[in-house]
Amino acid sequence: MSGIKGKTVLITGGGTGLGADMAARFAAEGARVWVSGRTAATLEQVAGQHGDIHMVEADVTDETSVAAMFDFIDTPDIVIANAGASSSGPLVRTELAEWESMLSVNLTGVFLTFREGLRRMKDSPWGRLIAVASTAGLKGYPYVAPYAAAKHGVIGLVKSLALETAKSGVTVNALCPGFLDTEMTVRSVDNIVQKTGMSAEDAHASLARMSPQNRLIKPEEVSAAAFWLCGAGSEGVTGQAISISGGEV
């Protein structure tokens, strides 16, 4: 069994997609996993798949809710800030409420999760803070300016916090996947179809072509990268934005 055995892992946005895949991977390796989110039904479904996966309802955009989440699970060894959302449209048609919503869940949610996680880890000799960002945090895409701005902010947060924690046993990194083969991409395909009249197959193919490998990234590829950041030999890896995109960036 790996060195993950017996460690406590918190995964926000753990009820679907990448978060659910990460939960399954860490639980299979012997970790005690907590998945959090706002929808009890999806969390229960994930938790029901393994005896070492547990659920806690929380809203990462709410400071009180985040603190209560950590009170409930106690001190985790590994915190994966995975909760996020996306929307698309021309910037000139973007309402302030949508801009604030994208920053709230994708950037403020990471800030609140990391801040509380680090507070709990302050006396720990070892810890891992991992943010799930995006290739949108490394480059620009049209029609997703608020999302890209938030993800760029996440990477800035990671780089700064890594320097603050460099002399401790805590590392801080970001994973930057390209378009993933998950529910979020299905919603992106639906949005393209609705706004352009393109077929679902062509919309899916247009997203796949973003990668030089001409495919969507599998959730398990990102889970493997997260697992590697928590394993032996990763101690010197901190402050990094790791692209998992088939060579896109």
pLDDT of residue 3: 85
Q: By C-alpha distance, which of 19, 25, 22, 71 is closest to 42?
A: 19
Quick: pLDDT tens for 29-40: 999 999 999 999
Q: By C-alpha distance, which of 163, 143, 140 is closest to 151?
A: 140
Q: Which residues are catalytic?
A: 147
Judged by average pLDDT, the poorest of 12-16, 127-131, 148-152, 210-214 is 210-214
- Is residue 186 helix, strand or coil? helix
Average pLDDT over residues 208-235: 94
Task: Give the pairing of strands 127-132 and 170-177.
Answer: parallel
Token reading at 12: 């926000």
Q: Name the CA radius of gyration of the chain, rounded.
A: 17
Q: What is the CATH number of domain 8-178+218-238?
A: 3.40.50.720
Question: Where does the chain hold its CATH 3.40.50.720 domain(s)?
Answer: 8-178+218-238
Residue 95: pLDDT band by 50, 70, 90 thresholds? very high
What is each CA distance from 92 to 96, 144, 152, 185, in whole angstroms?
Answer: 11, 12, 20, 24
Please give the model's pTM, rounded to 2 decimal places.
Answer: 0.94
CA dist 232 and 224 (Å) reads 14
